[in-house]
Amino acid sequence: MCRCRCAETPWRGVSISFDSIPVMKNQNAETARLQELLARFAPVDMEADITGLPRCERQALAKLVQAADILDALFLRQCWAGNETMLLRLLKDASPLGAARLKFFLNQKGPWDRQDGNKPFIPGAPKKPAGANYYPDDATKAEVAEWIAGLPEPEQSAAKGFFTVVRRDEKGGLKLVPYCTEYGNELVRAAGLLKEAAGLTRQRTLKTYLEKRAAAFLSNDYYDSDVAWLELDASIEPTIGPYENYEDEWFNYKAAFEAVIGVRDDRETVKLAKFGEHLQWLEDRLPIAPALRNPKLGALAPIRVINQVYASGDAARGVAAAAFNLPNDERVIREKGAKRVMMKNVQEAKFRMVLVPLARLALSPKDRKGVSFEAFFTHILMHELMHGLGPHDIPGPDGKPTTVRQALKECYSAFEEAKADISGLWALQQLVDKGELPAALGRTMYVTFLASSFRTLRFGVTESHGKGMCLQMNFLLERGGIRAAKNGTFSVVTEKFRAAVTELTGTIMEIQARGDRGAARAMLEKYGRLPPAAKRVLERARRLPVDIAPRHRTVELLTSMR
């Protein structure tokens, strides 16, 4: 169940008149269409065992869920300036059609179908703004880019940073506004809840993280709290704040608010800890020029396996995240490291409800037998680990330091997702060859990845993960690593697949190391379209779920156990 509270600050600047929207000729048909869209998300009871948590920790957990709800409302505002007004209108419509619109609006975090090219599904909704609500709605990308380029330091770095928005000043020019000012009312409330949770927990590192994250909400300086999150060692594993930059389709600069609240699975966390020990070994063997490798990765590389209790904001829009690698701040990664969080109950649900049925439809009879949860789970882990490897800090064209994210701009997210996917396969093969992983995984990981690639394509090819997967699939088809049969099924050609994985890993990372936006754009234009054979598979899969719709039953249990 999605809990979305409308923010208290009134929305300004966009006028939406629902009274002027023509009445639908056939509201029943429109309701049925929306029900079909909602049916793409299979309802799943998302549960985590909290019975072993002391009462004070359960109380802290409840405070974190409340804070997460505030960030959900903030994310709505970040997506589009008109979201809050539209939500208020939808809440007043008690008809079956209004209820269906509201439910899908909350699922998609706005009036656009993210899995279908961001097509509006509510009459009166404009085209989804590529700059989201991070920039003035009357500004152009060129105007903002020119303004940023003309700023002196440190203002230019702040403008390209995660935690500012661009607004009009009183003279009609552009100005920077920090998140702590733009979202001040909500962040004060969220910070208060984090402080209350910190006062309840008896776990030292959790208390430290919550106190520092509360301070970051008010100061706009997230470094210390990011480090505290990396050092977190507690039964409760919260990730709460502004992180991913997918919504900023202009520049991939700005971070969106999200929250993932989970409880740690100690047994699975211990099992996966060994992967962190091999990261420098993998970095030293990346299929790129030795000079482009990082001779010393950040010291911290914790891996946590959790069961999700609650998710909100950017972590709960449309397709649910199965894992993540954070923080994204290049300074933190360089100086301290990064953490990978695997959500086991989410992944188990995705595998059971989505991947297995899709594999039966998309793969050859021989290959579908090799699809396994172990390979699915392990590749997702390696995907997240590989986000932290390869080029990050690079020299700019003027010789000054920059980052891959800033250099590739709008190409960054799709390119980075493709890199993490394909290099994750490369890394798994290296560990299989080294004897650190079972030899059987060397086969099952390829066919499981192929099945999962169709799952990712169904997220929508305008979305970063889907576009990145198009790049990979087209490249693998071109190199003969994947074969499409006349009967519409796909299969893996192992040796060609393996060679193509190594080649594509090196190609993407070399482009990232050069900060070559033109080459990245050209590669996405060449390979970033849905292959016709894959399109036919997706057409046959129309009645299969695209993803899951988590119902957070543990939150209900949490309320009853207070």
pTM: 0.87
> Quick one: pLDDT at residue 562?
61
pLDDT in tens, 44-99: 999 999 999 999 999 999 999 999 999 999 999 999 999 999 999 999 999 999 99
* Domain at 184-552: CATH architecture: 2-Layer Sandwich (3.30)
> Quick one: pLDDT at residue 5?
37
> Quick one: pLDDT at residue 443?
82
Taking every pair of C-alpha atoms in the chain, what is the biggest distance, in angstroms?
A: 67
The rounded percent of the chain whose pLDDT value lies above 90 is: 88
Mean pLDDT, the chain, integer: 93
- Give residue 478's identity as a one-letter amino acid code: E
Q: How far is CA 85 from CA 15, 60, 79, 238, in A?
A: 9, 32, 13, 30
> Quick one: pLDDT at residue 539?
95
Report whether pLDDT(301) > 90. Answer: no
Taking a C-beta distance cutoff of 8 angstroms, is the pair 349, 376 a contact? no
The gap from C-alpha 433 to its chain's centroid, in whole angstroms, comes to: 30
The rounded percent of the chain whose pLDDT value lies above 70 is: 95
Q: Which residues contact 302 (CB under 8 A, 6 or more apart)?
A: 230, 276, 337, 339, 340
Query: Stretch 287-310: mean pLDDT, rounded?
Result: 93
pLDDT in tens, 136-150: 999 999 999 999 999
Task: Give the pLDDT band (50/70/90) at residue 397.
Answer: confident
Q: How far is CA 503 from CA 38, 286, 385, 517, in A?
A: 39, 11, 19, 19
> Quick one: pLDDT at residue 25?
57
Q: In 3D, which of 486, 413, 415, 485 has the Cα closest to residue 450?
A: 485
Report whether pLDDT(18) > 90. Answer: no
Query: Stretch 459-468: mean pLDDT, rounded?
Result: 88
> Quick one: pLDDT at residue 1?
38
List the Cα angle 488/491/497 in 5-degree steps.
135
pLDDT in tens, 515-530: 999 999 999 999 999 9
Report whether pLDDT(374) > 80. Answer: yes
Q: Which residues contact 407 (CB under 8 A, 6 or more apart)?
A: 394, 396, 515, 516, 517
Q: In 3D, which of 427, 471, 469 has the Cα closest to residue 452?
A: 469
> Quick one: pLDDT at residue 462?
82
Report whether pLDDT(365) > 90. Answer: yes
Supply the angle between the helices 373-387 and 441-457 in degrees, to the nearest 10: 80
Q: Are strands 303-313 and 339-343 parallel, antiparallel or unpaired?
A: parallel
> Quick one: pLDDT at residue 473?
98
Counting every residue, how long is the chain?
A: 562
Query: Stretch 299-323: mean pLDDT, rounded?
Result: 94
> Quick one: pLDDT at residue 138?
97
> Quick one: pLDDT at residue 10?
36
pLDDT in tens, 198-230: 999 999 999 999 999 999 999 999 999 999 999
Report whether pLDDT(162) > 70. Answer: yes
Q: Report the alpha-carbon distance of residue 534 to residue 457 in Å, rounded.
A: 9
Query: Stretch 368-386: mean pLDDT, rounded?
Result: 95
Is residue 401 classed exposed, middle or buried when 0-12, 13-18 and 19+ CB atoms within 10 A define those classes? Answer: exposed
Q: In 3D, which of 130, 146, 139 has the Cα closest to residue 167?
A: 139
DSSP class per residue in 413-454: HHHHHHHHHHHHHHHHHHHHHHTSS-TTHHHHHHHHHHHHHH
- Give residue 464's identity as a one-letter amino acid code: S
Taking a C-beta distance cutoff of 8 angstroms, is the pair 68, 197 a contact? no
> Quick one: pLDDT at residue 6?
38
Task: Give the pLDDT band (50/70/90) at residue 315.
Answer: very high
> Quick one: pLDDT at residue 241?
99
Query: Stretch 387-404: mean pLDDT, rounded?
Result: 92
Report whether pLDDT(429) > 70. Answer: yes
Q: Report the alpha-carbon distance of residue 118 to residue 99 in Å, rounded.
A: 20
> Quick one: pLDDT at residue 21?
45
Query: Stretch 278-293: mean pLDDT, rounded?
Result: 96
Which of 94-103, 122-131, 202-211, 460-469 is predicted with the least confidence, judged by mean pLDDT?
460-469
Q: In 3D, which of 399, 222, 410, 250 has the Cα closest to residue 328?
A: 222
Query: Stretch 395-404: mean pLDDT, rounded?
Result: 90
pLDDT in tens, 232-242: 999 999 999 99
> Quick one: pLDDT at residue 178?
99
Query: Stretch 240-246: mean pLDDT, rounded?
Result: 97
Query: Stretch 434-453: mean pLDDT, rounded?
Result: 95
- Give residue 259's identity as a one-letter amino acid code: A
Q: Report the alpha-carbon distance of residue 408 to residue 110 in Å, rounded.
A: 27
Taking a C-beta distance cutoff of 8 angstroms, is the pair 464, 417 a contact? yes
